[in-house]
Amino acid sequence: MANDRQFYVDQKAFIERDGKVLVLNDPILGLDFPGGKIQEGEVDWTDALKREVQEETGLEITVGEPFTAWHFKMPEGPHRNAGKDLFLVGYRCAYTSGEVVLSSEHDKYEWVDKDTYQKYADNDIDGYFQALKTYFERY
Q: What is the pTM of this model?
A: 0.92
Which CATH number fits the domain 8-138, given the four candidates 3.90.79.10, 3.30.365.10, 3.40.50.300, 3.30.360.10?
Answer: 3.90.79.10
The CB-side HSE value for 19 (13 A sphere, CA atoms) comes to: 4
The pLDDT of residue 55: 97
**Which three-class secondary structure state does DSSP give residue 41?**
coil
Calculated CA dihedral for residues 3, 70, 74, 45, nearest 10 degrees: -80
The pLDDT of residue 19: 96
pLDDT in single tens digits along all 139 residues of the chain = 888 888 889 999 999 999 999 999 999 889 999 999 898 999 999 999 999 999 999 999 999 999 999 998 877 887 777 788 899 999 999 999 999 999 999 999 999 999 999 999 987 778 999 999 999 999 9
